[in-house]
Structure 1
Amino acid sequence: MHVLQISLLLVFPALAIVGALKDLTSYTIPNWISLALVAAFVPAALVSGAPLGQIGLCLAAGFGALVLGVAMFAAGWIGGGDGKLLAACALWLGWPAVLPFMLYTALAGGALTFLILGLRSAWVAPVLAGGPAWMRRLGVQGGDLPYGAAIAAGALAAFPQGLLAQSILG
């Protein structure tokens, strides 16, 4: 049973990393990543032994993050895939780990912004010109930010504090 629990638990960081890489390389996070996170949460929660009340708090955290993600998408701050990834990660982390998750995501977003601004500086542009297309796109002046990378970084940082990680490993 422990191998099954660990296997299901590893779905979360694996899909968060895939979401970050997809966003960095294509500025899109496919719906299947968020849907797979939501679908994998159910069996992971069932085998974790977490109390139903705590699982309910996970659902509430995910729904709250979805509302927040929709609002940020409507304001033009993030893309739709970013909002869905934010909600799916919050679902896995639950309460109270969703709070450090949001803080870590904001900090990672700030670091990502400075990194991208550095890539968009005049002295780095010639270096990027010889790089792959996805890297050149990151250096385009006025381009978007692949915020899915910040969401994944925040999720991975908060992961050990999450309900399912605590239930299985703690």
Structure 2
Amino acid sequence: MTSTFAAWLGFLLFAGTMTYAGVKDVATMTISNRLVAVLTIAYAVFAPAAGLGLEAILSSVLVASGVLACTFAFFALGWIGGGDAKLLPVATLWLGAELALPFLVYVAAIGAALTVALLQFRRVPLPIVLKKHAWSNRLHARDAGVPYGAAMAPAALLLAPESHWFPALLQI
């Protein structure tokens, strides 16, 4: 029963934090280090408590480490922001090694759609109702980046029910 409770708490924490990260990235174009640290520490606490086996945890850590190496290279090349470079591997950690590739594909597809939408949005004048908001001005700026947290969040939420967390939730 304890592992089911821990699985529910972990699942809800992950889903809520990813949602918050996506919204916050759209609003501020930042993903805080504190948020990434909370998710990382929470995984270390909740994964064993939820009954995830050592093999599942280690394979998730290994794959997430590989993703981290790639995202830091992308950050160094200026292709992605620092928050994105940290959030992607920690989300991969939570979803597990078996969902890493589908997660990256979903992020790429949602991110591509988001990028096209932002490029189109930036071609037209900003509506008056949006001009008074800092977040919309930031998103509308032609030299602004793309808030990829807004692509990572729905990708993570779409795959979360297929993750190793979900079977533990069904042990009620």
TM-score (normalizing by structure 2): 0.90
Q: Confirm or deny that 1:25 pairs with 2:27.
A: yes
Would you say the 8 A contact 2:7–2:165 is kept in 1?
Answer: no
Q: C-alpha separation between the residues in 2 aligned to 1:54 and 1:166?
A: 13
Structure 1 window deviating more from structure 2 (84-93 vs 153-162): it is: 153-162
Name the counterpart of 1:57: 59
Q: Deviations over 1:95-133 (max 9, x none)?
A: 1111110010001101110221121122x4234653411
Q: How does 1:58-97 map to 2 (within 5 A)?
A: 58-97=60-99
Q: How many residues align?
A: 169
Q: Which runs of 4+ in 1 moved over 6 A?
A: none
Q: Deviations over 1:2-45 (max 9, x none)?
A: 33321122111111111112211111111011101111101221
Q: Confirm or deny that 1:98 pairs with 2:100.
A: yes
Cα shift at 1:164: 2.4
Gapped runs of 5+ residues in structure 2? none
Percent of pairs with identical residues: 34
Cα shift at 1:161: 1.9
Q: Which residue identity is paired with 1:20? A: G
Q: C-alpha separation between the residues in 2 aligned to 1:158 and 1:15?
A: 15
Q: Confirm or deny that 1:153 pairs with 2:154.
A: yes
Would you say the 8 A contact 1:109–1:150 is kept in 2?
Answer: yes
Q: 2:116 aligns with which of 114, 117, 139?
A: 114
Structure 2 vs 1, CA of residues 113 and 127 (structure 1 numbering), >3 Å: closer, same or farther?
farther
Q: Which residue identity is paired with 1:93? A: L
Gapped runs of 5+ residues in structure 1? none
Q: Confirm or deny that 1:139 pairs with 2:144.
A: no
Q: C-alpha separation between the residues in 1 aligned to 2:28 and 2:90?
A: 20
Q: C-alpha separation between the residues in 2 aligned to 1:126 and 1:5?
A: 44
Name the counterpart of 2:42: 40
SS in 2 for 1:125: coil
SS in 2 for 1:100: helix
Q: Which residue identity is paired with 2:38? A: A
Q: Deviations over 1:62-108 (max 9, x none)?
A: 11111111011111111011010001101111111111100100011
TM-score (normalizing by structure 1): 0.91
Would you say the 8 A contact 1:128–1:136 is kept in 2?
Answer: no
SS in 1 for 2:52: coil
Would you say the 8 A contact 2:25–2:147 is kept in 1?
Answer: yes
Q: Which has the higher contact order (CA 8 A, sep 6+)?
A: 2
Structure 2 vs 1, CA of residues 49 and 3 (structure 1 numbering), >3 Å: closer, same or farther?
closer
